[in-house]
A and B are shown apart, each in its own frame.
Chain A
Amino acid sequence: MQPQTAQLAPTQNALEFSTRFGDIRLREDRLLSFPHGILGFPACTVFGLCQMPGTENSPIMLLQSVNDPEIIFLVADPSMIGLTIEDEEKERAMDELKITSGNVQFLTILTLHSDGGDNNHLTANLRAPLVIDSASREGYQHIILNPTYTTQHKV
């Protein structure tokens, strides 16, 4: 059961994407604006966030670009996968991004390392978390300057 789909009333407009992880529906009124895109993808300024299809309680979510259907990231709340971004760093990020709302979500982009066989593991990019202001529905990729945060934390 996907929370977004579950809440979807027939009158609400949704965008449908066929992803390699399954079919997803993104409510148009819940899309996120990334004014600066994501680093390396400046043209991808609108995304939708949803549960991984076929999972109920997985902390892993999908961040689908609306601009380019090929661009889809696996993301997770770091605290749900055993990782921490210290409050001090969160405050610094919000300060830099001029976010004053208390309703901010930090997400980390996941990378899958695979040898093509059974040896697969995920890493989380804590160095450059996504900071999402739920009030304005805007998101930014913020780079943490503290080098103890790396781009590949083992999950």
Chain B
Amino acid sequence: MLLITRREDESVIINEQIEVKILEVKGGRVKLGFDYPKGNTVYRKELFLKIQEENRGALNINAESLNKLLGQKGE
């Protein structure tokens, strides 16, 4: 992992097109600002992992249970 020390209002530039700026450092929290071209995505990692987890869980569908459920709904 690359380590760089920055102060408030300083930035790093990634791939010459993505800017990550340190906006505020206060009470153990860091506020970051991102400037990036459309087509890129920035997410909190927890959210990213949660969606991955939900996707994996969505694969475990038992056809029998599903049919039972759809049958109950009259389809």
* A111 B54 Cβ-Cβ under 8 A: yes
Chain A min CB distance to B69 (Å): 4
Number of residues from A at the complex interface, CB < 8 A: 36
Q: Which residues of the partner chain A approach B47 to less than 8 Å between Cβ atoms?
A: 127, 143
Report the number of A-B residue pairs with Cβ-Cβ less than 8 Å: 83
Q: CB < 8 Å: which of A38, A41, A143, A152 contacts B43?
A: A143
* B55 A112 Cβ-Cβ under 8 A: no
Tell whether B4 is near chain A: CB-to-CB under 8 Å: no
Q: Which residues of the partner chain A approach B53 to less than 8 Å between Cβ atoms?
A: 40
In the complex, per-residue mask of A123-155: 1 if CB is within 8 Å of any chain B CB, else 0:
001011000000000000101000000011000
- A residues contacting B by CB (< 8 A) are 20-21, 38-41, 55, 57-58, 60, 70-74, 95-98, 109-112, 114, 116, 118, 120-122, 125, 127-128, 141, 143, 151-152
**Chain A to chain B contacts (Cβ below 8 Å), 9 pairs:** A55-B75, A73-B59, A74-B61, A96-B38, A109-B54, A112-B62, A116-B65, A120-B68, A127-B51
